[in-house]
Amino acid sequence: MTTTVQPTVPPRPKATQKTHRAAPRTLLSPKAVSPRPILPQFYETLATALGPMHWWPARTPFEVIVGAILTQNTAWVNVQRAIANLRRERLLTPRALERVGQGKLSRLVRPSGYFRQKAKKLKAFVRFLRSDFAGSLARMLRIPTAELRERLLAVHGIGPETADSILLYAGNQPVFVVDAYTQRILFRHGLLGEKAGYEEARQLFEGSLPRDAKLFNEFHALLVKVGKNWCRPQQPRCEQCPLGPYLPSKPSPVVGVRL
Ligand code: SF4
């Protein structure tokens, strides 16, 4: 299926990039092109250049949630170590996390940093799951998206990015996850003000794209890859970046994002 391209959209990157036949380009139907076509074009370009991202790297929805909490303010490699510890101790279920002592839990998640706070957050989540949904993740994930988002945000330690990661990657619900990489990219491309907050960025994506969990899943992961590989806080490597052709002008060299 082909995406309609508006005349104001910059040309797509040329040949220097690898292409991957498996990239899910067909998620963008012609009907879906919005008055703000640049984000669908970003997606299409990145999916073609980088291929499928296979997110979220977890075995179960509950493991996604544990990872979403542990990844706050740390690199994923540290989360992997903490999750390996929890797996070794057979603690990657709501019931097991309810039962484990907080001291032991803190020690096990230590590699992810801020380990005492993160142990408390994990405990707060499983308490919420018990009190509101009888400990059933499936029951929690059946709640309508907007309502569940509000209820997650009321749990200790769950902010917008974590809540949306849970909704999208554990619940397969069409909510766009925004992170610092995303905000930096939007700002540098003139799509978002430097002082814009999380909700503004989220609305920009959700208002410009079809509400499709698979698309949101893939697009967020692609933007993370761009942020890690090219769109660094200082001295972005635009010449190598797949989004380079979309730059309105030279990007700001340093960006302070507000989440
Ligand atoms: S590295 Fe440059 S081209 Fe790539 S997303 Fe950042 S600002 Fe855009």
Query: Bridge partners of 254?
Result: 234
Evaluated on CA atoms 54, 58, 59, 63, the torsion sign reads negative
Atom 2 (ligand 1) nearest CA: 238
CB 257 within 8 A of CB 183: yes
For ligand 1, say whether the CB of 231 is within 6 Å of any of its atoms.
Answer: yes
- For residues 226 and 236, give the distance between their C-alpha atoms in angstroms, rounded to a whole number: 10
- For residues 150 and 132, give the distance between their C-alpha atoms in angstroms, rounded to a whole number: 13
For ligand 1, say whether the CB of 244 is within 6 Å of any of its atoms.
Answer: yes
H-type helices in 2-114, by residue range? Answer: 38-50, 61-70, 76-88, 94-99, 102-108
Ligand 1: distance of its center to the CA of 243 in Å? 6
Which pLDDT value is given to residue 259? 37
Count Cα neighbours of 57 within 13 Å in the Cβ-side half-sphere: 10
Tokens 């030279």 -> residue:
250
Query: Bridge partners of 106?
Result: none
- For residues 17 and 11, give the distance between their C-alpha atoms in angstroms, rounded to a whole number: 14
Pick from 115, 31, 56: nearest CA to 81:
115
Which mutation among 187, 223, 230 tests ligand 1's pocket best, with the greatest number of atoms within 8 A of CB?
Answer: 230
Question: Which residues contact residue 160 at a Cβ distance below 8 angstroms, ignoring those fewer than 6 apart?
Answer: 153, 178, 198, 199, 202, 259
| Structural domains of the chain in order of their starting residue, each with its CATH number | 31-54+177-246 (1.10.1670.10), 61-170 (1.10.340.30)
Query: Bridge partners of 234?
Result: 254
Atom of ligand 1 nearest to the CA of 185: 5
Ligand 1: distance of its center to the CA of 35 in Å? 22
Burial of 190 (0-12, 13-18, 19+ CB in 10 A): middle
- pTM for the whole thing? 0.84
Structure token digits, residue 106:
């803190």
Evaluated on CA atoms 167, 169, 171, 175, the torsion sign reads positive
Which pLDDT value is given to residue 214? 97
For ligand 1, say whether the CB of 148 is within 6 Å of any of its atoms.
Answer: no
Question: Which residues contact residue 105 at a Cβ distance below 8 angstroms, ignoring those fewer than 6 apart?
Answer: 91, 97, 119, 122, 123
Over its length of 259 residues, how does the chain's per-residue pLDDT go in tens digits? 333 333 333 333 333 333 333 333 333 433 333 336 899 999 999 999 999 999 999 999 999 999 999 999 999 999 999 999 999 999 999 999 999 999 999 999 999 999 999 999 999 999 999 999 999 999 999 999 999 999 999 999 999 999 999 999 999 999 999 999 999 999 999 999 888 999 999 999 999 999 999 999 999 999 999 999 999 999 999 999 999 999 976 554 444 443 3
- For residues 138 and 248, give the distance between their C-alpha atoms in angstroms, rounded to a whole number: 45
